[in-house]
Structure 1
């Protein structure tokens, strides 16, 4: 594995009143990737967290006047990306080791690789279903009637091309992220990850899952607990299906 300093990354983190877990993530990042450029966005009013000293000269802090969606926040952060790789990381991610070198190696080995993601474990060590097949109308019917989830089997050993990967940790080749104009801000909180993977594939750029790189994710799963979040989830699903699977997709910009 190469040294952490050999991979130039800009890491975008968005806090939604999550100072405690953001602070833990920043501490992890300072340990495994001290030369990262950090863009920290406060999406709501909260107390500012103390940045690790290694990021004092290499961080950008953004305070939103009004809350933005997932895609809008990370697109805003990308304006300050001047590294080869742009990494979107949820605040509830923890890093025991650096995943950046293994992921960057995939980009180096294959110019057509546009998005890479590590395996994602829950706090007990079980691997989450972060790699999935693209959703379809038929697939949703099967999910409701038969319980089929549209998930890849657990991937082990070697990198694998997949349809899409969950947005809790995404590493982009920055020039390709720029070429597709980043995330579609018409979504709010859900399906931005599915959509951008679909748009990368339309350009012929691969989405690759690297099981040898690993992060830990303490998922909040708010859509399971809140009607408001569930409503956002359903509306984003409908937008995606219309945009990518319907004759009405001309209504949306790619």
Structure 2
């Protein structure tokens, strides 16, 4: 299952305990299988680099009445068997549990249920539509070991550059953002391409197109909720996600709150594939949720009609 020779562990503190939360809502079978398979492989590779590392995976079933319980439990039993001390091919401590029956409480609240009570050193929020590169978790631990100031790490995302171009033809991007304005969010999400050209400079600034995806850098104002790796004391100190954000902008909000306590770090070597999407592609229900969450975000952090710029965090001392 693992290719390559065992590598010596990096110098530094003992290998940490990692808790991963993945929230599902009628997520297709092939998507969950691909995620679990790649997570198991990446966990094994991590254990070869960091002997003694442990993974605690929580799947959160947000379907009403827990209608996905049986299907998700069967997948966990197959790819990430639960129970203390059990693991993938005996090579990594990978325990799991399923939370189900609580209903659709929203993305942020679901991750709070999964992570706030975990006895772990690193807390990871991850979408179900991720496929991890084998070195992803090992590279993540390397970052935390060499960058003690980093309290929240965001990865690089990989996608094929085009059909028929081969496995090496890949595009790597970050999903970091500057503080959003109304004009940029509306133009980016809902205007046709021809009308969007007038906002192209502002949209590029919002998406931090001036920042590289092939090397590390510090202090993105906002990072994506598709994958967030927190030092556990940071996540606990800010109380996790604000549950008032049912869907959308919970990652914007928690990024700004985390930046008041710690530093955010983009890690180019932590890589995975993400199949995301815009609210505008998902129908009017998602457009309404997106809009409601956007105005909730601005009500909490401040409204901007046009300007897009870096917002220095109000760092809390002590």
TM-score by length of 1: 0.86
Give 1:50's match in structure 2, choosing from 64, 68, 75.
75
Give, in whole Å, the separation in 2 of the partners of 1:20 and 1:233: 27
Contact 1:3 1:101 in 2 (8 A): no
Q: What stretches of structure 1 of length at least 5 have no aligned partner?
A: 247-254
Q: Aligned pair 1:126/2:165, yes or no?
A: no
Q: 1:201-212 counterparts in 2 under 5 A?
A: 201-203=259-261, 205-212=262-269
Give, in whole Å, the separation in 1 of the partners of 2:220 and 2:172: 16
1:152 to partner: Cα distance:
1.5
Paired residue for 2:58? Answer: 39
Paired residue for 1:94? Answer: 131
Give, in whole Å, the separation in 1 of the partners of 2:228 and 2:302: 24
Give, in whole Å, the separation in 2 of the partners of 1:53 and 1:229: 32
Q: Aligned pair 1:76/2:113, yes or no?
A: yes
Aligned partner of residue 122 in structure 1, secondary structure: strand
Give, in whole Å, the separation in 1 of the partners of 2:57 and 2:159: 24
> Considering only aligned residues, what root-mean-square deviation do their CA atoms show, in Å?
2.5
1:129 to partner: Cα distance:
4.5
Give, in whole Å, the separation in 2 of the partners of 1:223 and 1:63: 29
Paired residue for 1:179? Answer: 237
Aligned partner of residue 40 in structure 2, secondary structure: helix
Does the C-alpha gap of structure 1 residues 142 and 69 become closer, same or farther in structure 2, counting only changes over 3 Å?
A: closer
Contact 1:117 1:210 in 2 (8 A): yes
1:142 to partner: Cα distance:
7.9
Q: 1:101-180 counterparts in 2 under 5 A?
A: 101-124=138-161, 125-137=170-182, 140=185, 145-147=198-200, 148-149=202-203, 150-153=206-209, 154-180=212-238
What is the CA deviation profile of residues 6-62 of structure 1, one whole-angstrom value per residue up to 9, with x for unaligned ones? 342111011111133112211111111044110011111122342245532211111
Does the C-alpha gap of structure 1 residues 96 and 142 become closer, same or farther in structure 2, counting only changes over 3 Å?
A: closer
Q: Aligned pair 1:12/2:21, yes or no?
A: yes
- Which structure: larger Rg? 2
Give, in whole Å, the separation in 1 of the partners of 2:269 and 2:41: 19
Q: What stretches of structure 2 of length at least 5 have no aligned partner?
A: 1-6, 45-53, 84-94, 162-169, 189-195, 304-318
Give, in whole Å, the separation in 2 of the partners of 1:43 and 1:140: 27
Give 1:225's match in structure 2, choosing from 271, 279, 282.
282
1:100 to partner: Cα distance:
2.2
1:191 to partner: Cα distance:
0.5
Give, in whole Å, the separation in 1 of the partners of 2:256 and 2:133: 30
1:213 to partner: Cα distance:
1.6
